[in-house]
Structure 1
Amino acid sequence: MISRIAFLCFLAVSLIACKRSTNVEQSDIAELHEVMQGTFSSKKQSLADSTYFNIILHMYPIWQDKGAYLYVEQSLSNMPDQPYRQRIYELKKASDSTIASVVYELPNPELYIGKWENPYAFEQLDPSDLIERNGCAVVLKKVADKIYEGSTNDRSCESSLRGASFASSEVTITPNKIISWDRGFDNENKQVWGAKDGGYVFDKL
């Protein structure tokens, strides 16, 4: 009798684990994809601390029939037509409990400036045309309802910007804001670019 009860308990736990695994692959990816969409601003943070710039961040869905993709564009608020970063993110399952935000560069990115307003402009492209930034994916885990946290793997994201050897990203995503701390380090682990005291806080507009 005891062994039968133990077996039934084991079976129930196994079924719950399988269900959670399915949720990560389906509902959580869809939820994260939705939460990340929108226009964000670090204006409030820049007014409180002059060491942070006023940055506009746009993240909008593209290729919705091909997966969970987002076009990402960042610029200083006073130079919206001159973005300093253009990327495409792809959200996909990394493990039973995590989601990877894979980072891609665009061929001819200047052709897509401001196209966050017109996702159909990306129909001329295919995911196979993108250039993956190997080792730069951010691996995210759900920590509360519609709240995700994660980072890049240690020293895996190569970078040569301003004398860096590698870059790191730490990210927190909520329904109302995104906190992103991007930094570059040299071979001796000395920080050579990025915010010193913490991540940029982007409030959803």
Structure 2
Amino acid sequence: MKYFFLVLCFFLLGINPITAQQQKVSQKDLKDLYEIMSGTFSSEAQSLEEPEFFHISLVMQPIWKGAQDGYWLYVEQAMASSPEAPYRVRVYHLYKEDAYTLVSQVYELKDEASFAGKINDPTALAALSREMLLHKEGCGIFLHKTGKKQFEGSTRDQDCPSNLRGASYTTSKVQLDKNGMTSWDQGWNAQGEQVWGATKGGYRFDKVKK
């Protein structure tokens, strides 16, 4: 009777009772997330619809495919007009944290200049090792399953420090499915005022190549 009452409440509120609660995640879900994130993405369509958003290229290339501790991606984000000069270079480590949570842990490179712009250079990426990484403490994205091959998540609280353009910390929110992702990065000062990042909403990256 209690379950029926909850379902009735969800129905009246327009909420799907299955997705209203966190869904359990499996190793298959982790692989689905990895496959969704791997590839080339573009915000071109959004930039044409909404001029306040730039045309950005995002490429996430699988590395260390034999790893036993999850999946790894080498990431470059650049203005579409100059993909050879990415303004963001990262490595993401995807793994299952618990029964309900997948994590995209974020790393910087100690020698970013040696790799920037070489995302399509297998020789360069083969030289990349874990000893070259710097863990961005507190900046991981904690993701939950919201549907079949659908995920969403964010950083936690004010855990990701930043000193970019007067920021004290940064937050990131992400939604992903087989067609691409929406990513909203924002910088905040110590008073909780936004000092950089989109204000209207996140960047929509359409998947253009697997």
Work out which of the residue numbers 79, 82, 93 in structure 2 matches 1:79: 82
Work out which of the residue numbers 201, 205, 210 in structure 2 matches 1:202: 205
| Identical amino acids, percent of aligned pairs | 44
Give the Cα–Cα distance (whole angstroms) in 1 for the partners of residues 128 and 85 of structure 2: 22
Q: CA deviation at 1:116?
A: 2.2
Partners of 2:111 and 2:132 within 8 A in 1 = no
Q: CA deviation at 1:28?
A: 1.5
1:35 aligned partner: 36
Partners of 2:78 and 2:86 within 8 A in 1 = yes
The yes-or-no answer on 1:130 pairing with 2:133 is: yes
1:106 aligned partner: 109
Give the Cα–Cα distance (whole angstroms) in 1 for the partners of residues 149 and 88 of structure 2: 26
Letter in 2 for 1:39: T
Q: CA deviation at 1:79?
A: 1.4
**Matched residue count:** 184
- The 5 Å alignment of 1:180-195 reads 180-195=183-198
Name the TM-score, length of structure 1 as normaliser: 0.86
Give the Cα–Cα distance (whole angstroms) in 2 for the partners of residues 56 and 29 of structure 1: 24
Question: Which structure: larger Rg?
Answer: 1
Runs of 4 or more above 6 Å deviation: none
Q: Deviations over 1:47-67 (max 9, x none)?
A: 111111100000110011124
The yes-or-no answer on 1:52 pairing with 2:43 is: no
Name the TM-score, length of structure 2 as normaliser: 0.84
SS state of the match for residue 170, structure 1?
A: strand
SS state of the match for residue 81, structure 2?
A: coil
The yes-or-no answer on 1:170 pairing with 2:186 is: no
Work out which of the residue numbers 90, 93, 96 in structure 1 matches 2:99: 96
Q: Deviations over 1:2-40 (max 9, x none)?
A: xxxxxxxxxxxxxxxxxx96x52x211111111111111
1:61 aligned partner: 62
SS state of the match for residue 29, structure 1?
A: helix
- Unmatched 5+ residue regions in structure 2? 1-22
Give the Cα–Cα distance (whole angstroms) in 2 for the partners of residues 77 and 59 of structure 1: 15
Q: Deviations over 1:101-149 (max 9, x none)?
A: 0000012112212332234523323223310000000000111111110
Give the Cα–Cα distance (whole angstroms) in 2 for the partners of residues 33 and 120 of structure 1: 22
Two-structure CA RMSD over aligned residues (Å): 1.4
1:14 aligned partner: none
SS state of the match for residue 56, structure 1?
A: strand
